[in-house]
Structure 1
């Protein structure tokens, strides 16, 4: 029997703002998982996003006190959507063995697969995993998914944010489930890409949180940085499908330190430090003032096996030798 009412604390409406860092593993030269967990502790980083249930990483996270967003691989979603038994199997392998010693806060069903050919599998996979967790007595673990800005057909001004016609039915159903279970929608939000793709209409200061005054006036809402505008466009889109109570958790945001144009160490240091300070300020966004923001910086390390332009391999806060690419302050 489906049970989508949330009997535990509504995670999306409680708690404090927090900053995490994504632990990407698309590299062949990274420190051991236990060294990485020590680095999170040493830097005061309290949350970690893991893209798949990597046993080495999960075992190293035991008794660490670090909150974990644990990913279901895109290629596993169709099977989990099609079979409650497959969902049970995934939970029995990836969550149950660690649940008593690893603080798994979210299970994220896929990464940026809406829109796309697998989009319609996300909701049934989420339901099956939710039911498996409830049956296992692990209902405290929230089930959600990770989207990116292309789910929006319109994002400007933020109040006009709306899901694109090709995904609105899928997203409305997902938002309805998140509303019922009291979980947030996770979203990858990158002002860097918006600025890099349109530097004529978007100022660098607006992208880097350094604008001295509001840039976008959207009715009663004033936007001094692009990050808030992007997050609130997602909030507005969810409101339009009945999800006014669902918050956005930023599952990735960052700035590359090497590559073409604006991909510089100076800009990356400015963006990530300002992002962290903004999240930890507790101000929320103009559309959700004083609602605790939760965000994950992408990423812990430069990952040398990532495909694509050089920027893709230079989003890390640290080099694989554990030296910082630039100084980052993870505290107020």
Structure 2
């Protein structure tokens, strides 16, 4: 009887350990828009020293692929947006790309997936229609080498692809994207056993609605939670609500069996004066609590058994990224390889880690309807107070086309500007010039950020004017 009791206790102890250690997976995005980063070889050494075994990059750079050879680190590579048209319309192009960037390195470099494009739906170059054909051609090319079951093909989407996100149980994709893109893409993901990649940033929703969204709710700290009026679940963090909005959107199209990978999420350690919440303390709290949540958690309220794979953004602070100060301060590490702040990255570290960061003042109680315009898009342009002088943001053509294009790509991509009106055939496509399109995008970004200080700069590529811009017949809004 005594032996049985001891055995039972040991068994229960083992079960408790397993229940703690069985969770999701943490990876990191390795961006390289900087001129002061360590070599790829040193980066691999850094990753191994931190026990990070999953990495996503934004291209298929030869030096990087070689450096990761025999490292046992799983790698997601990217076919960039500017190559989508070629990969979609020329199967031979996709075949050669796979041969040169995958077959030449696999399996010594553990390429586990290919991200075809990145946030394609906000790409100012209008590449949306090429996305699914490009994914299919890349998959066909992998199959020719017997790699189609070993390497998954997907594409990261921004949360702006959702037409409705609140309550998250009513999540739906933008109607104009459903038939031409989402239905065929989700069908492709189902047939190939792949996951939908989603870039989700709770900080954007918090910054746009800090008067009603609790900072604790955004940072995974203890809070009363927010009840979804549609499904009755209580949410205790904003990221879960964002992910469940995507799950709900897929379920509405009868694709509720497809997993989700959070391909980007993070919090900046520094920002401009008006970038609410950007601080070292909050970055440490968000990423540290997120890692703890993922490694020890068990899915979201809508999918409690789904263990998430989450890629933190990013590995380094990148000093050449355009946009506000925050864009250059998302890194876990400085280029010197020194930590920006301390967070756990493994289950063992999670066991002893505590959120000791200073609790900054939370805005609001996080309980009303605005406690989730979940994506952060719809609530950022609040009605302005009477008497405030109207201003607009326009492009500075003197910086040159290269810098202007880079800033335009940011504004329409990660910046979340409304760039649909400057697509071919839309109301503001004409005049079809880089300066006109950039001005529209910069103004959208500026207005959506409530004309915050630093939101009309783009490293010198934009400036504020006090009279309405005039490019053809296009109107430049001051409210979103």
TM-score, length-scaled by structure 2: 0.65
The counterpart of 2:45, out of the listed 6, 28, 38, is: 38
1:282 Cα offset (Å): 3.4
Which residue in the other structure is 2:108 paired with? 101
1:279-290 superposed matches below 5 A:
279-290=294-305
* Unaligned segments of structure 1, at least 5 residues: 1-14
1:1-332 superposed matches below 5 A:
17-116=24-123, 117-139=126-148, 140-169=150-179, 170-218=181-229, 219-259=231-271, 260-332=275-347
- Structure 1 vs Structure 2 CA RMSD: 1.2
Give the structure with the larger strand fraction: 1
1:114 Cα offset (Å): 1.6
Give the 4+ runs in structure 1 shifted more than 3 A: none
Aligned to 2:117, what secondary structure does the other structure show? strand
Report the CA distance shift for 1:115/1:243 in structure 2 as closer, same or farther (over 3 A). Answer: farther
Aligned to 1:289, what secondary structure does the other structure show? coil
Q: Distance in 1 between matches of 2:311 and 2:293?
A: 13
1:16 Cα offset (Å): 6.1
Deviations 1:158-204 (A, max 9, x none): 11000011211211110111011110000100001111121123211
Bigger shift: residues 179-188 or 215-224: 215-224
> Are the counterparts in 2 of residues 178 and 184 from structure 1 also a CA contact under 8 Å?
yes
Q: Distance in 1 between matches of 2:262 and 2:309?
A: 6
1:100 Cα offset (Å): 1.9
Q: Distance in 1 between matches of 2:71 and 2:316?
A: 20
1:293 Cα offset (Å): 0.4
> Are the counterparts in 2 of residues 115 and 166 from structure 1 also a CA contact under 8 Å?
no
1:214 Cα offset (Å): 2.1
1:104 Cα offset (Å): 1.0
- Greater RCO between the two (CA within 8 Å, min separation 6)? 1
Deviations 1:258-281 (A, max 9, x none): 013210000000000011111111
> Are the counterparts in 2 of residues 175 and 241 from structure 1 also a CA contact under 8 Å?
no
Greater C-alpha Rg: 2
1:212 Cα offset (Å): 2.7
Q: Distance in 1 between matches of 2:60 and 2:320?
A: 19
> Are the counterparts in 2 of residues 43 and 330 from structure 1 also a CA contact under 8 Å?
yes
> Are the counterparts in 1 of residues 59 and 80 from structure 2 also a CA contact under 8 Å?
yes
Q: Distance in 1 between matches of 2:247 and 2:117?
A: 20
Aligned to 1:159, what secondary structure does the other structure show? helix
Aligned to 1:114, what secondary structure does the other structure show? helix
> Are the counterparts in 2 of residues 282 and 290 from structure 1 also a CA contact under 8 Å?
no
Bigger shift: residues 281-290 or 177-186: 281-290
> Are the counterparts in 2 of residues 176 and 242 from structure 1 also a CA contact under 8 Å?
no
* Unaligned segments of structure 2, at least 5 residues: 1-21, 348-480
Deviations 1:182-233 (A, max 9, x none): 1000010000111112112321111101133322334242210000000010
> Are the counterparts in 2 of residues 276 and 330 from structure 1 also a CA contact under 8 Å?
yes
Count, aligned residues: 318
